[in-house]
Amino acid sequence: MSDRGPAPKPWIEAIHAYVPGAAKSVDGRELVKLSANENPLGCSLGALAALSAPRDPARYPDPDARDLREGIGALHGIDPARIVCGTGSGELLQCAVQAYAGQGDEVLFSRYSFSLYPLLAHKVGAVPVAAPDRNLGASADSLLGAVTDRTRVVLLDNPNNPVGSWLPRSEVERLHAGLRSDILLIVDQAYAEYLSDGVDDGGFELAARSANVLVTRTFSKAYGLAAERVGWATGAPAVIDMLNRLRGPFNVSSGGQAAALAALADQDFVSRSRQENRRERDRFAEAVEALGNHGLRAVPSEANFLLTVFEGELSAEAARDGLAGGGYAVRHLPGQGLGQALRITIGTREQMDDIAAILRRSAEALSGN
């Protein structure tokens, strides 16, 4: 009798597990975690209160997250019937790819995109295809140029992770207009709350009027509820129907639903998160640019992190190690072809000042001044 065990499907065996942002140094020390784009302000007090309210853990949560969908619909002017909630937006991205792509199909995204995207394609036996970037960011022309007969899903994270770039409404519309109607365009707006007031890429309007657009959002970033795992998506009824068939039956916990609903009611917290993020991101970008003579460069970002490029004597690895020595975990993404850069989540003012000082000391130590 063989003891080899069951053979996984070859396309599943080829997947590596998603690599989350580190929270510890290589020698096991706890670090300040600026590697997962979490909110340094925490979450709304209302959401905290909702989380600590008594509820019966013996009962399943509302399987349809009805109150939460109504709250989201009221805030964004969307019919709740066209909303589905997920265990983070990650679950919904996975369901959407699973519904529309399979063996031999292609799932297309821009070269530097959320590192989960290729895994989602591999999970269903589809081929991940990366379109060339334009100045690290996505380009509608480049994505359209990479579409083939086998393309089934296009994923656009807007703002983008890990670059922080953003495509305006006119470009997203042009991208959509250039796609065949049998291709699903997913506009992943995980960082949309960080855009300036009144700025948006038109994803909701496209999702409201098109049969082939899905927009995803999350409570993990500006709402500060990453631990609760709540996300949502909106699109045409037929697309939402597919996601409802594929998602877990009780996929959002009772606490998560209550916390997200309370968080929606506290838009002041979201505004404050947006404003403080912008202020600290701008200040940090300036501090990085001031090290331009040492080869450091800040890539303009619309999100809650800054991609910092190291083109001088101080390498990204050495900078990452220096920051870990100073108590900070940031994201180095050589696996994504960004070995010369670090993605640094925007933390508090003190943390960003400290990080800028560590980078300056590390760069100066190498150049001897």
Ligand X SMILES: Cc1ncc(COP(=O)(O)O)c(C=O)c1O
Q: Considering only residues 137, 231, 322, 347, which one is a binding residue for ligand X as defined by CB under 6 A?
A: 231
CA distance 129 to 107: 6
Q: Which is nearer to ligand X, 226 or 366 (CB)?
A: 226
State in angstroms the smallest separation of the CB of 238 from ligand X.
Answer: 23
331-333 and 338-345 strand pairing: antiparallel
The distance between the two most distant Cα atoms of the chain, rounded to a whole number of Å, is 69
Query: What would the x/- binding string for ligand X be over residues 128 to 147, using CB under 6 A?
Result: --------------------
Q: Which is nearer to ligand X, 329 or 363 (CB)?
A: 329
251 binds ligand X (CB under 6 A): no
Residues in region 14-53 near ligand X by CB under 6 A: 37
Q: DSSP states of 77-99 as a string?
A: T--GGGEEEEEHHHHHHHHHHHH
Per-residue CA distances from 201 to 74, 148, 205, 209 (Å): 20, 25, 9, 15
Give me the phi and psi of 84, to 5 degrees please: -130, 140
Helix ranges restricted to H, the chain: 10-13, 45-52, 66-76, 88-100, 116-123, 140-145, 169-178, 203-209, 237-246, 254-264, 267-289, 316-325, 349-367
The residue with its CB nearest to ligand X is 88
The CA dihedral of 281, 329, 260, 269, to the nearest 10 degrees, is -30
Q: CB of 269 within 8 A of CB of 337?
A: no
Give me the phi and psi of 311, to 5 degrees please: -120, 15
> Of 146, 133, 218, which Cα lies nearest the Cα of 183?
146
State in angstroms the smallest separation of the CB of 270 from ligand X.
Answer: 15
235 binds ligand X (CB under 6 A): no
Q: Which is nearer to ligand X, 19 or 45 (CB)?
A: 19
State in angstroms the smallest separation of the CB of 216 from ligand X.
Answer: 7
Query: What would the x/- binding string for ligand X be over residues 300 to 339, using CB under 6 A?
Result: ----------------------------------------
Q: Which is nearer to ligand X, 155 or 359 (CB)?
A: 155
Q: Which is nearer to ligand X, 80 or 231 (CB)?
A: 231
Q: Which is nearer to ligand X, 105 or 228 (CB)?
A: 228
State in angstroms the smallest separation of the CB of 110 from ligand X.
Answer: 11
Q: Which is nearer to ligand X, 94 or 151 (CB)?
A: 94
Q: Which is nearer to ligand X, 229 or 294 (CB)?
A: 229
Helix or strand run (H / E) with residue 106: strand 106-110
State in angstroms the smallest separation of the CB of 247 from ligand X.
Answer: 13
Q: CB of 233 within 8 A of CB of 83?
A: yes
157 binds ligand X (CB under 6 A): yes
Write the DSSP symbol of residue 312: S
Query: What would the x/- binding string for ligand X be over residues 57 to 96, using CB under 6 A?
Result: -------------------------------xxx------
CA distance 44 to 262: 8
Q: CB of 237 within 8 A of CB of 82?
A: yes
Q: Which is nearer to ligand X, 147 or 215 (CB)?
A: 215
State in angstroms the smallest separation of the CB of 86 from ligand X.
Answer: 8
Cβ–Cβ contacts within 10 Å for residue 115, how many? 16
State in angstroms the smallest separation of the CB of 185 from ligand X.
Answer: 15
Q: Which is nearer to ligand X, 93 or 129 (CB)?
A: 93
Q: Which two tokens stand for residue 79?
A: 């019919």
Residues in region 180-219 near ligand X by CB under 6 A: 188, 190, 218
CA distance 344 to 316: 11
Residues binding ligand X: number (CB under 6 A): 13
CA distance 83 to 352: 37
State in angstroms the smallest separation of the CB of 222 from ligand X.
Answer: 11
Which residues here bind ligand X, judged by CB under 6 A? 37, 88-90, 114, 157, 161, 188, 190, 218, 220, 226, 231
